[in-house]
Amino acid sequence: MMRFFIVDDDPAVRFMLAQIIEDEDLGEVAGEAEDGALVDGGVLALKKVDVVLIDLLMPRRDGIETVKSLSGSFDGLFVMISQVESKDLIGEAYAAGIEYYITKPVNRLEVIGVIRKVEQHLLLHQSIRDIRRSLSVIGMDPQQEKRSQGFGDRSLLSAANDVLSELGMLGESGSRDLLDMVQYLERWERARGSDYAFPSLGEVFEEVALARLGASVSPADLRKEVKAAEQRVRRAVAEAQSHLASLGLIDYSHPKFEQYAASLFDLSEIRKKMKEMEEGDSSAAGSSVRTNTKKFVQGLYLESKRLISRM
């Protein structure tokens, strides 16, 4: 049975949500709070909470800031509740870490539908954990499974992390930016459903920077962070491209080369880099090889989704 914690400054909304959960036998309400400032990871862990239903706008600490503050200490799911219709603000909420969104005024059928999706989400994760536990019982190393399958844990973020690891990029400062971009794209797609299409690369950089710095950041500081992030990512992608090109020189049929050379990079640029390496002219200053950051980001997201679909 799922355990819920409701955070909303309106007692009528908290009561209504609790009634729907109990009447429809959707789970158990483990606790409530009237503001995000009153919630911390310790409370949620003590009450064994699976799902936090949280209002977007609250007087002391709003829902987005609360989700950000709990992201490192709470392993469950966040469902945002609000009457706000701003696409930018909703996008920021997804970037912060929410999984689903319920609009106000609260509609009983919508609440039930969203919670049913949350239940399926949690059941899938539990099934994956049970499978891994069973494998460990019969003597199979879960870490070896992780390496051989090419993905790690239950999330898209974990799959993206594994891809970056395969490419030798985790030591690059731009790897954190890339993982944040994958998370943003995941929430973008979830918010738009079947109408999903990739946003512009500039928009992704800006939204990720905004989520990192907060809504109160000045336009000048936002532009500065976006530019710095673009440079970090460009350097990281260039390093990965060089790494893959060197691998291709050694073994053109290597599975890693075959898997990533065309899906994450422009193959013509990989070949150009390989030629430079063969000729001993691969210095960054004199190189004519270009990096396609947009293709890499989109490819990283799609590759991570593909790995998750194999679970």
Q: How confident is the model at residue 135 (pLDDT cuts 50, 70, 90)?
A: low
Q: Do 114 and 79 meet the contact criterion of CB atoms below 8 Å apart?
A: yes
> Which of these three, 98, 124, 150, is where a domain ends?
124
**pLDDT value of position 311:** 54
pLDDT digits (tens, 9 = 90+) for 26-43: 999 999 999 999 999 888
**116-135 average pLDDT score:** 67
pLDDT digits (tens, 9 = 90+) for 206-265: 999 988 888 788 889 999 999 999 999 999 999 888 888 887 777 767 778 878 888 898
Domain range for 299 is 158-309
* CATH code of the domain containing 97: 3.40.50.2300
| One domain, residues 163 and 300 | yes
**114-119 average pLDDT score:** 86
- pTM flag (> 0.95): no
| One domain, residues 304 and 180 | yes
Residue 18 has pLDDT above 80, yes or no: yes
For residue 219, is the peptide bond before it cis, meaning its omega torsion is within 30 degrees of 0? no
As a dihedral over the C-alpha atoms of residue 269, residue 273, residue 274, residue 278, rounded to 10 degrees, the angle is 150
| One domain, residues 171 and 111 | no
Q: What is the DSSP string of the chain?
A: --EEEEE-S-HHHHHHHHHHHHHTT--EEEEEESSGGG--HHHHHHTT-SEEEEES--SSS-HHHHHHHHTTT--SEEEEEE----HHHHHHHHHHT--EEEESSP-HHHHHHHHHHHHHHHHHHHHHHHHHHHHHHTT--HHHHHHHHT--SSSHHHHHHHHHHHTT-TTSTHHHHHHHHHHHHHHHHHHHGGG--PPPHHHHHHHHHHHHH-TT--HHHHHHHHHHHHHHHHHHHHHHHHHHHHHHHH-TT-HHHHHHTTTTS-HHHHHHHHHHHHTT---TTT------HHHHHHHHHHHHHHHHHT-
**41-54 average pLDDT score:** 92
**pLDDT value of position 65:** 92
Residue 197 has pLDDT above 90, yes or no: no
| Domain assignment present for 149 | no
| Domain assignment present for 85 | yes
Q: How confident is the model at residue 101 (pLDDT cuts 50, 70, 90)?
A: confident
| Domain assignment present for 137 | no
Residues 272, 268: Cα–Cα separation, whole Å: 6
Q: What is the DSSP string of 152-193?
A: -SSSHHHHHHHHHHHTT-TTSTHHHHHHHHHHHHHHHHHHHG
Q: In the predicted model, what is the mean pLDDT of the chain?
A: 82
**181-190 average pLDDT score:** 87
Residue that the structure tokens 């409530």 belong to = 32
| Domain assignment present for 135 | no
Residue 144 has pLDDT above 50, yes or no: no
**pLDDT value of position 134:** 59
**pLDDT value of position 154:** 47
**pLDDT value of position 139:** 54
- Most confident residue range from 80-94, 164-178, 217-231, 244-258: 217-231
| One domain, residues 71 and 201 | no
